[in-house]
Structures are given as C-alpha cells and as structure tokens.
A and B are shown apart, each in its own frame.
Chain A
Amino acid sequence: MNNFEHTHHAHCESGVVSSMLRHHGVNLSEPMVFGLANALNFAYIPFVKIGGMPLIAYRSMPKSIIKNIQKNLKIEMKLERFSSKEKGEKRLDELLEEGKIVGAQSSVYWLEYFPKEIRFHFNAHNLLIYDRDGDEYSISDPVFDKSVTCSRASLTKARFAKGVMAPKGLLYYPVSVPNEIDLKPVVTKNIKKIAKTMLGTPVPIAGLRGMRYLAKSILKLESKEKKYAKLFLGHIVRMQEEIGTGGAGFRFMYASFLQEASELFENDPILAEASKLMLAVGDEWREFALMIAKSIKSKNPIDYRAISDKLMHISENEAKVYKKMLEFKAAV
C-alpha cells in the first residue's frame, strides 16, 4: 500500500496531476497546476465532429497539462503506451506492485463506475490507479467525490478503447521531482503567455476569436432545422458543463489560480482584480448556459440573436481579464 489519499477535483487531467504531485511531496493545488500548465483556452472547430456535433473545447488539448507541467516545473514523467492489452495490464500490475500510483488515460464509455447517463465515447479521460486486489483496482477518479473500484475487464477495455484520441493503454507517473520549485517566475511567465494567446490567436477558431466565431455560427442556426439547432445549442452547454469538461468551471478554476498567484506576490492587487474579473466571466458563462437551456425547453421561437450577443459580450469581458493580466509586473 502507498497511503494514497483521494481528493475531489473539478477536472480530470489537472486533478490527476495535482494528486500525483502531492503524493510525491509537491504541494500544488489543482488551480495552480491548471494555471501553470497554460490549460485555459477556447476552441470551436466545426470540421471536427463529436457525435455529429462540432468540437467545442474550453481548455487546451488533452495531455497538454501533463506535457506542460513537465516542461514548466522540470518534473520528469514517464509515459508508457502499449501494443497489446496483455502487455498493458501486466505493466500496470507491476507498477502497482512497486507501490507506485499510476495515471492512466481512458475512455469514459467503458468505465463501469461512471453513471450510464454520462457514459459517452470520450477517449481522453484521466484517472489515477493506486491499488489492486485480485481483479479489482482502486481508482482515484478526480471528478468523483469518493474513490471508486473498477474491474480489470472494464478498466482494460477503457484503456484500450479505439478511435479518436485512442489512449493505447497510456500510463504515466513521475520519475523525478525537484525538491524545491521557485513558483514566482513560472507563474509570471505563464500568466503573460496565456493572456497573449487568448487575445492574439492567429487562427479564427481558437482563443477569443473562436468565441466570436461560435457566436456568429449561432446566428446562422436560424436558417437551420429547429431540431438540429436545439441539439447544437444543447451540445454547447454539454461541452461547457457536463462532468469533467466544464467550461465555466475552467474560468472559476482559473480565477482561483489568479487568486493564489496574487497571494504568492504579496497580495498583488492587479492579479487580485484579474481573479475577480475572471470569476465574473465564469458567472456569465453560466448565464449563457441558462439562456440556452431555457430556449431548448421553451416552445417559443429561439432568440438566436440574444444568445449570440451574450457570447460576444462574454468574449469582450474575457478580453478585459487578459488585458488586466498583462498589466501585471513581478517586483524584482
């Protein structure tokens, strides 16, 4: 046994990384991990479909948190993928035998402990495996409030699900963790970086431009079949709010990161203000979702203009947060 303790997190990948680092003596909150990994983003990619609907993401690409945390904090992680289920199972058992806690990428659909209601084909879920008893694994799934168990059959199926972003049995764990991390320069650098990325994305499908693009696409729904329009709008909300994906949730988490960052710099007022602004933006994202939910349920014609305007408005207010973040100067 390895005395691992489960913690409930808002998001799978940042949650796994935070739990993993804490277990190895690096105390970084989930928002800190999320912030330091530059995980906040927005993307609307109409030509990539999920369940017949365009890809809408409120964060960076899957696995980018693992990648960026390694790079930004000089933590060395080992990532292993497998050519067969048998090899993947065997390696997992070996690592647990050594007392390791192991991160894994999986599909959501094949995990038996997920409620049927939210089991969809999403291959980039992350969880932590910390123990095994026969064919039963003890799992710390960050988006669950308690730790769970999962059978070998279900876990293997989920780790080796095929299709887009196929996990290929991916396992990961830290092999070397620095004793001390000087957070200040990393925080400063990444606050600037994300602000610039969001404000000045060169492609129209990501960052604030992505939001405006989605807002324009909402207007175009007017000429589409109402059934499709409703599914499209519902899809936006699901990508924003459904467990593990939470778009507004990411804005709240980033607000929490900015608050921690402000404390790190002796209560820096600019970062504290940016945190408040981001919190307000998170609330607006939720108002946007509420507006959509009402229009899906209502028998009245949908006011696409109002929904689109709301999103435009959010993109303007998010821009203000990033501009505020760029005002920040770390005292030397």
Chain B
Amino acid sequence: MDINSVPQDNSETYANMKKAIYARDKDGKMQTVGSTGWEVEEIATKAALEDIEKSIENAYEEVKAGRRSPLYYHMYDARMDLLVLAQSTGFFQWTIKRHFKPEIFKKLSEKRLLAYCDVLGKRLDEIKTIPKDRDE
C-alpha cells in the first residue's frame, strides 16, 4: 500500500485514535502512517457491536420478565458469553446455567456471588439486580 492510499475514514470505532500502518512512500521506502480509520473495519466492528447489543437487550427483557436471573444480564452486559464466563470463573457451564434460574440465583452464597462480582466488575448490591433503565 502506498502512503496516500492509507485510508483516513475517521471511523467512529477508532474514537479519535489513530492506527499505525506500514506503507510505501514515493521513493519506495516503507514507513508508518497514522490512519484515522477504515470503513471496512468499521462495518465489521459495528456488526459485532450490534450483535452484542442485541444480546444485552434480550437478556434485559428476559430478566425483567422474571425468566432469568440478573446474572444472565450482567454476563452479556460485560460483553461475555457462557463460555467466557465459565473460563473466567472456573465454574462449569452447567453450574452457571443453573444460576441463570431466578429461584436458584436468589439462594446463592455470598462467596459465589463475589466470584461473579470479581470477573464481571460489579459490586454485590449491583449483581443482585438489574438497572432500572438500560442507559445507566
């Protein structure tokens, strides 16, 4: 890639950051150039973010309707899924799935809850409930 073809698309997903890209100057010498974004990358990142956002929204509704425990929402809100939460806590996936049931979640020991708090970055009072509005 030549220096002047390094994309400068001011991508939202770069949040005013620049990315260094190695490109060729007019004398054929390679050097780094700061890129403000590339639309192609932005499309891919946004598609992934939208997918995450849908999972969070869906989880919020599930918890609000009482079908799932708050843990289910906080997992997605921390951009995790069952696999990542299991890997982070060291709990089995089926154990975590049980904790998605509101009646079982209510009876969890403080020790268990604190393990979830730690990997999800939440306080004990936060993890037991979900925020009133989605835009906290």
Chain A 284-295 interface 0/1 with B at a Cβ cutoff of 8 Å (1 = within): 001001101100
CA A321 – CA B71 in complex, angstroms? 50
Tell me the smallest distance from the CB of A314 to a CB of chain B, in Å.
15
Q: Report how far A234 CA is from B48 CA in the complex, Å.
A: 7
Q: Is the CB of A115 within 8 A of B32?
A: no
Question: Within the complex, which residue of B15, B20, B84 is in contact with A51, where a contact is CB–CB below 8 Å?
Answer: B84
Question: In whole angstroms, what is the CA distance A286 to B20 when docked?
Answer: 15
- Within 8 Å CB of B88, what residues of A? 161-163
- Check if B49 sits within 8 Å of A296, measured CB to CB: no
Check A296 against B30 for contact (C-beta < 8 Å). Answer: no
Q: Which of B33-41, B60-68, B103-111, B122-130 contacts A (4 or more CB under 8 A)?
A: B33-41
Smallest beta-carbon distance A331→chain B, Å = 23
- Chain B residues with CB under 8 Å of A253's CB are 22
Residues of B within 8 Å of A292, CB to CB, are: 40, 44
Is there contact, CB below 8 Å, between B121 and A157?
Answer: yes
In contact, B1 and A279 (Cβ under 8 angstroms) = yes
Contact A109:B79 (CB < 8 A) given known A115-B13, A164-B87: yes
Chain A hits for B34, CB < 8 A: 8, 145
Given known A143-B20, A249-B21, A279-B1, contact A296–B44 (CB-CB < 8 A): yes
A115 touches B20 (CB 8 A): no
Segment of A66-74, A116-124, A198-206 engaged in the interface with chain B: A116-124
- With most chain A CB atoms within 10 A of its CB, the pick from B40, B80, B83 is B40
User: Nearest-CB distance from A257 to chain B (Å)?
Assistant: 9
**Contact (Cβ within 8 A) A243 B84:** no
**Distance of B59 from chain A, by nearest CB (Å):** 15
Out of A110, A120, A162, A297, name the residue touching B43 (CB < 8 Å).
A297
The answer for the CA separation of A157 and B122 in the assembled complex, in Å, is 12
Indicate if B89 sits at the interface (CB-CB under 8 A).
Answer: yes
Known: A145-B18, A162-B119, A243-B17. A259 touches B1 (CB 8 A): no
Residue of B nearest to A227 (CB): B51
Tell me the residues in window 89-115 of chain B with beta carbons closer than 8 Å to chain A beta carbons: 89-90
Q: Report the separation of the CA atoms of residues A252 and B1 in the bound assembly, to the nearest whole angstrom.
A: 8
* B1-46 residues at the A interface, CB under 8 angstroms: 1, 12-15, 17-24, 29-32, 34, 38-41, 43-45
Q: Report the separation of the CA atoms of residues A157 and B120 in the bound assembly, to the nearest whole angstrom.
A: 10
Q: Which of B20, B34, B47, B51 has most A Cβ within 10 Å? A: B20
Interface range for A: 35 or more
Q: From B20, B45, B84, give the contact of A163 (CB < 8 A).
A: B84
Pick the contact of A110 from B40, B47, B81, B121 — CB < 8 Å?
Answer: B121
A90 at interface, CB cutoff 8 A: no
Complex CA gap A115/B31 in Å reads 26
Asked if A10 and B79 make an inter-chain contact with CB atoms under 8 angstroms apart, the answer reads no
With the chains together, A243 CA to B51 CA distance in Å? 19
CA distance A51 to B87 in the complex (A): 12
Residues of chain B lying within 8 A (CB to CB) of residue A164:
84, 87
Q: How far is the CA of A256 from the CA of B121 in the complex (A)?
A: 41
Is A167 interfacial (CB-CB < 8 Å)? no
The answer to whether A93 has its CB under 8 Å from any CB of chain B is no
Given A10-B20, A145-B17, A279-B24, CB of A162 within 8 Å of CB of B87: yes
Which 10 A/B pairs are nearest by Cβ-Cβ distance? A115-B15, A256-B30, A237-B44, A163-B87, A252-B22, A241-B41, A293-B40, A163-B88, A145-B18, A117-B13
Binding site for A on B (CB under 8 A): 1, 12-15, 17-24, 29-32, 34, 38-41, 43-45, 47-49, 51, 78-81, 83-84, 87-90, 119, 121
Residues of A participating in the B interface, judged by any CB pair closer than 8 Å: 8-10, 31, 49, 51-52, 109-110, 115-121, 143-145, 157, 161-164, 230-231, 234-235, 237-238, 241-243, 246, 249, 252-253, 255-256, 259, 275, 279, 282-283, 286, 289-290, 292-293, 296-297
